[in-house]
Structure 1
Amino acid sequence: MNLEQQQQDDQQDTNPWGTKSWTYISSLKQQSPLIQCITNLVSMDLIANTLLSAGASPAMIHSILEIPDFTPHTQSLLINVGTLTPEWLPAMKAAAGVANRLCKPWVLDPAAVGASRFRLKACIELVELKPTVIRGNASEIIALSLGSLGSMKGADSLHESSDAVEAAKSLAKSSGAIVAVSGSVDFVTDGQRVVGAHNGLPMMQKITASGCAVTALIAAFVAIDPAHAFEATACALSVFGLAGEIGMCLANGPASLRMHLIDSLYGLDQETVVQRVKITSFS
């Protein structure tokens, strides 16, 4: 083994989460899994570009007429209720049902779940269909855990992510899903273990649908390794935050950060990921 390889191995040993994250990134680029996205109208463009830049293949298929033919061929499913309508909900349920029947992972983003009774009821019904992962901001996770309308400002959170850790653990236990809470620290729990992903920066919250995009990246990482959804979720959150950090070095504001975030996600290299991914245990 040469010195360069030895140094690389030593570096990897000091940050196992960084090593895991790079494994997901490299596998994603090699396998290019097909990710079906039933998502809100605002987020489609950013989600598609996020998945493409990371190495996945996105498909914005939401018609219930296409679910029986298309969903069985996907490697993972994303359901995001941001612009939920009564017409879209049956397709979401049907796709989740197909994913479950075929043992494919699926990820739920309960956007603004506490904003209306219709939205809350729909999300509760979707949770009953056993998502692999649920990702939301603190206010969303609290509202979904309690099953009640919450204090929200549209899709924005009025709570810190740390405020929702206990709610996330409760939701994980009751649903069987891995639950992620986005915020200044992104928390991930399976009901027992809790880790925090510390990458990212506040400016990312000024990009419309950035939360939706990271949920899509979670769906892609989970497609690579469904048996380890906890680890995949934490790594996806950290990698997305890291891409934002790198992109901010070239950005002047939210619009240019959006562009540079996508470019940075595309251009991530092993050394940077292993060195800069920061995930810690809170268990």
Structure 2
Amino acid sequence: MRDVVPTVRGPEAALRALRDAVPLTHCVTNAVVTGFTANALLALGASPAMVDIAGEAGIFAGIADGVLINLGTPNPQQQASAREIVAATRRWVLDPVAVGMLPIRTALAAELVAARPAIIRGNASEVAAVAGGGSGGRGVDSVDDPDSVHAAAADLARRTRTVVAVSGEVDLITDGERVARVRGGDPLLTRVTGGGCSLGATMAAFLGVVEPFSAAIAASVVHKHAAEAAASVSSGPGSFAVAFLDALAALSPEDLDGSRVEAHLASAEATR
């Protein structure tokens, strides 16, 4: 694991740094998306590892450049692994899948948030539930939109000193002081199992080369760009899934000019 992670301005520089470094990205993720997540990381240029065995997960987290904890299928083994990981590193992303209505993962998410992840990434309903202002969505599907939970996300970021990334048609990313919105993408990404989960893994990969706010923005820009490229050559979800991996691999830093990102300081009015 790198001792010092430089601040890199912009998605273009972040992707260049990732391709140069090939960050070791440790994922404790749900059984439904493991293969797709690993392939997405490989296509992007990172090195994935799925170590979710208690007694090993914490050791591996100590050498990884970034870690994802995804609560999609939080069996007892993964719960124990998550607790080991958060004691070993701060360079980790929490993806609180389907929290709010399901009690085991909701309690675990609260415990993990208290351990201060570098990034919390979820859809709007998941973020609202983690922040304490919502009951969750419809399973993994959000019933809210990112702007409707802006205030809750900013408050959560300030309380936990964490970057909060809310996925949606326009992604919203905040550290409580700064706010970035990332536009673009394609709805087909929501019809592929692992679309959102792989975004959390991509954020973990970028944590190996940039600080958390830049990592979340870079990952969002990368996924939206790749989704658009994949949709342009796809006829449906099946071909899109393959084309998305190809698009990640074909992506060059020069493709990421920052035009998708609207960034500014959070106003008091917007976060009340």
Question: Is the TM value for this pair above 0.5?
Answer: yes
In structure 2, relative to structure 1, the CA distance for the partners of 1:53 and 1:277 (3 Å cut) is farther
Q: Which entry has the higher C-alpha Rg, 1 or 2?
A: 1
Equivalent-residue separation in structure 1 for 2:235 and 2:259 (angstroms)? 24
After superposition, the C-alpha distances for 1:139-180 in whole angstroms (9 at most, x for unaligned) are 0000110176x1421111011121111111111011111000
- Give the TM-score of the pair, scaled to structure 2: 0.90
Q: 1:204 aligns with which of 189, 192, 203?
A: 189
After superposition, the C-alpha distances for 1:114-141 in whole angstroms (9 at most, x for unaligned) are 1212111100000111100000000000
2:31 matched residue in structure 1? 41
**Stretch of structure 1 that moved more, 179-188 or 229-238:** 229-238
Q: 2:107 aligns with which of 121, 124, 144?
A: 121
- Give the TM-score of the pair, scaled to structure 1: 0.87
- Output the amino acid matched with 2:25: I
Q: 1:224 aligns with which of 190, 193, 209?
A: 209
Equivalent-residue separation in structure 1 for 2:167 and 2:44 (angstroms)? 20
1:55 matched residue in structure 2? 45
2:224 matched residue in structure 1? 241
More helix by share: 1
**Cα pair 2:27 2:68 within 8 Å, conserved:** yes
> What RMSD in Å do the two structures reach over aligned CA positions?
1.6
State the Cα distance separating 1:281 from its structure 2 match.
2.2
- Output the amino acid matched with 2:221: S
- Output the amino acid matched with 1:260: A
Question: Which consecutive residues of structure 2, in runs of 5 or more, have no partner in the other structure?
Answer: 1-8, 267-272
After superposition, the C-alpha distances for 1:256-275 in whole angstroms (9 at most, x for unaligned) are 1111111011101243222x
Q: 1:214 aligns with which of 199, 214, 231?
A: 199
Q: Which has the higher contact order (CA 8 A, sep 6+)?
A: 2
1:141 matched residue in structure 2? 127
Equivalent-residue separation in structure 2 for 1:63 and 1:235 (angstroms)? 30
- Output the amino acid matched with 2:196: G
1:64 matched residue in structure 2? 54
1:6 matched residue in structure 2? none
1:80 matched residue in structure 2? 70
State the Cα distance separating 1:71 from its structure 2 match.
2.2
1:107 matched residue in structure 2? 93
After superposition, the C-alpha distances for 1:36-76 in whole angstroms (9 at most, x for unaligned) are 10000011111101110111000000001213432222111
Q: 2:252 aligns with which of 266, 269, 282?
A: 269
Q: 2:148 aligns with which of 140, 150, 163?
A: 163
**Cα pair 2:133 2:152 within 8 Å, conserved:** no
In structure 2, relative to structure 1, the CA distance for the partners of 1:64 and 1:151 (3 Å cut) is closer
In structure 2, relative to structure 1, the CA distance for the partners of 1:198 and 1:68 (3 Å cut) is closer
Q: What SS does structure 2 have at the residue aligned with 1:88?
A: helix
% identical aligned pairs: 34
In structure 2, relative to structure 1, the CA distance for the partners of 1:108 and 1:151 (3 Å cut) is closer
1:89 matched residue in structure 2? 79
Corresponding position: 1:257 with 2:247: no
Q: What SS does structure 1 have at the residue aligned with 2:207?
A: helix
